[in-house]
């Protein structure tokens, strides 16, 4: 009897694993959270100005983590009460609700109109700008060619050399950051083993506190751009309080992901942002999948010898985005200074053109006034006496004649 019961349990567990695998494949094909983040970032980019875009991205991340904090807290207690089977159905219902809300309340036309208006304004500015010859002008393309735009949107011939370098540095730092951040996927196995041996309640409480701390502290200030400090602290943590102390560090290390979207949007034309964000989303998904698989595989093979090795390796790899961010800071400072100089030169050129245009109009007006014929007035008045037409001292006498000019030359120059 016991053998048959074990066989049934084994078959049911295999069936559950197969169903879970199929569900994971379906979720992966649908894009799931990555598509949602992609669309939200596009909406924020099109509906905000450049000066407030970074803060809106950080605020969006804070709102997302706040909601996930509530979910993590509830899930931890729900698993200990009813198990995790019902959570799949709840997640399915919530995803269907999000689809209905998106179709009902998000009107795509308002974003399309705003984007096209921005593009027309940008094209007008480029046509009047003296540096318009150095700007890549996108030609109309077929539908199938849009796929290749995702991979060619960062080409060097579309923008200046320093802007291209800044884009590639940002993308490389973002990719390495996401890859090393995926090392935290093994944190669950780290907390389930010795010396912590946490239950689902404790893991849910920690996840909730982590999300709340991340949401609040991310709004306080922007300092670190890597997860170096948090990962090192986690690697050497031996007590529960040490794990919670890492929450004071990790929120300040998550800005690399949020600010990448804002930084890229500043260096791209409006019609290039959707393709660029698609590429960033694909990079994010690939790095999470590759990093999670790699660090889980590495943790399973090094846990016997050294439990800290995986986290220490991830912390060491974070030196790469740290160096790239420093170099990117230097490049963007020079780029900002050059943009200011170029903008001042363009303004000076526009002012000079306006002054030249006004001078030409004034000269044309003077020539027209000089060509106006003289009028005849009193004959008894001295022929050499000249007075303006609007002078109060002129006496109208129809019997006489006088050579008189309408406006004096000094008044013409004043005009």
Over the stretch 341-359, which tens digit does the pLDDT of each residue have? 666 666 766 667 777 776 7
Predicted pLDDT of residue 19: 73
Q: CA 153, 339, 124 angle in degrees (round to 5)? A: 65
What's the pLDDT at 411? 43
pLDDT tens, residue by residue, 215-237 = 676 665 444 444 555 666 676 67
Per-residue pLDDT, averaged over 168-193, amounts to 86
* pLDDT of 175 above 70: yes
What is the C-alpha to C-alpha distance for residues 350 and 344, in angstroms, rounded to an integer?
10
pLDDT at 401 over 60: no
What's the rounded mean pLDDT across residues 101-123?
54
Q: What is the pLDDT of residue 297?
A: 92
Which residue blocks in 218-253 are alpha helix, DSSP H?
Answer: 228-236, 240-245
Residue 287 in contact with residue 179, Cβ under 8 Å?
A: yes
Q: What is the pLDDT of residues 262-313, one digit of tens each?
A: 788 888 888 888 888 888 888 888 898 899 899 999 998 998 888 888 888 9
Average pLDDT over residues 117-135: 42
Q: How far is the C-alpha of 61 from the C-alpha of 67, rounded, in Å?
A: 10
Domain 14-131+158-343 CATH superfamily: MFS general substrate transporter like domains (1.20.1250.20)
Higher pLDDT, 397 or 209: 209
Helices (H), 83-133: 85-105, 108-128
pLDDT at 294: 93
Split at pLDDT 50, 70, 90, the class of 128 is very low
Percent of the chain exceeding pLDDT 90 equals: 1
Average pLDDT of 55-71?
78
**DSSP secondary structure letter of residue 193:** S
**What is the model's pLDDT at position 298?**
92
Asked if 249 contacts 233 with a C-beta cutoff of 8 angstroms, the reply is yes
- Percent of the chain surpassing pLDDT 70: 60
The ranges assigned to domains in the chain are 14-131+158-343, 347-414
Residue 74's pLDDT is 82
3-class DSSP assignment, residue 375: strand
Distance in angstroms (rounded) separating the CA atoms of residues 200 and 331: 47
Phi, psi of 232 (to 5 degrees): -65, -45
Closest CA to 262 of 33, 47, 40, 55: 55
* C-alpha distances out from residue 267 to 11, 64, 103, 137, 342, Å: 55, 26, 31, 15, 15
The region, left, alpha or beta by phi > 0 then psi within -120 to 50, assigned to residue 32 is: left
Residue 139 reports pLDDT greater than 60: no
Please give the structure tokens belonging to residue 287: 């790095």
How far CA 362 is from CA of 297, 359, 415, in Å, comes to 80, 5, 7
Question: Where residue 392 falls among pLDDT bands split at 50, 70, 90?
Answer: very low
What angle is formed at CA 302 by the lines to CA 298 and CA 305, rounded to 5 degrees? Answer: 170
166 or 41, higher pLDDT? 166
Q: What is the mean pLDDT of the chain?
A: 71
Higher pLDDT, 335 or 150: 150
How high is the pLDDT of residue 359? 73
Q: What is the spatial distance between Cα 271 and Cα 46, in angstroms, rounded to a whole number? A: 11
Q: How far apart, in Å, do the first and last CA atoms of the chain sit?
A: 111
How far apart are alpha carbons 364 and 146 in whole angstroms? 53
For the segment 378-395, the average pLDDT, to the nearest whole number, is 47
């Amino acid at each position: 009897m016991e053998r048959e019961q074990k066989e049934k349990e084994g078959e049911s567990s295999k069936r559950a694993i197969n169903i879970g695998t199929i569900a994971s494949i379906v979720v992966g094909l649908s894009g799931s959270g990555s598509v949602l983040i992609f669309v939200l970032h596009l909406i924020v980019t099109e509906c905000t100005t450049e000066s407030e875009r970074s803060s809106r991205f950080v605020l969006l991340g804070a709102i997302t983590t706040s909601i996930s904090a509530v979910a993590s807290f509830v899930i931890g207690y729900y698993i200990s009460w009813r198990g995790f089977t019902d959570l799949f159905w709840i997640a399915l219902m919530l995803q269907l609700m999000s689809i209905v809300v998106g179709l009902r309340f998000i009107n795509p036309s308002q974003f399309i109109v705003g984007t096209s208006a921005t593009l027309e304004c940008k094209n007008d500015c480029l046509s009047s700008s003296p540096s318009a010859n150095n700007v890549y002008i996108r030609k109309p393309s077929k539908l199938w060619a849009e796929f290749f735009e995702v991979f060619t949107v960062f080409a060097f011939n579309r923008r200046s050399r320093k802007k291209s370098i800044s884009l590639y540095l940002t993308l490389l730092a973002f990719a390495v950051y996401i890859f090393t951040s995926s090392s935290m996927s093994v944190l669950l196995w780290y907390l389930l083993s010795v010396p912590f041996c946490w239950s689902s309640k404790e893991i849910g409480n920690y996840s909730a506190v982590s999300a709340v701390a991340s949401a609040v502290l991310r709004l306080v200030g922007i300092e670190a751009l890597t997860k170096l400090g948090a990962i090192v602290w986690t690697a050497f943590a031996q007590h529960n309080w040490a794990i919670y102390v890492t929450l004071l560090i990790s929120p300040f290390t998550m800005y690399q992901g949020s600010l990448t979207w804002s930084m890229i949007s500043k260096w791209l034309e409006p019609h290039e942002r959707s393709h660029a964000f698609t590429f960033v989303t694909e990079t994010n998904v690939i790095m999470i999948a590759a990093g999670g698989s790699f660090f889980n595989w590495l943790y399973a093979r090094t846990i016997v010898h050294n439990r800290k090795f995986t986290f220490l390796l991830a912390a060491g790899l974070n030196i790469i985005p740290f160096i790239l961010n420093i170099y990117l800071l230097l490049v963007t400072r020079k780029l900002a200074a050059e943009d200011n100089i170029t903008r001042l030169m363009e303004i000076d050129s526009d002012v000079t053109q306006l002054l030249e245009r006004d001078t030409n109009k004034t000269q044309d007006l003077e020539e027209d006034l000089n060509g106006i014929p003289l009028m005849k007035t009193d004959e008894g008045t001295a022929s050499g006496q000249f007075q303006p037409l609007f002078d109060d001292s002129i006496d109208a006498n129809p019997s006489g004649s006088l050579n008189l000019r309408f406006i004096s030359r000094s008044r013409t120059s004043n005009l």
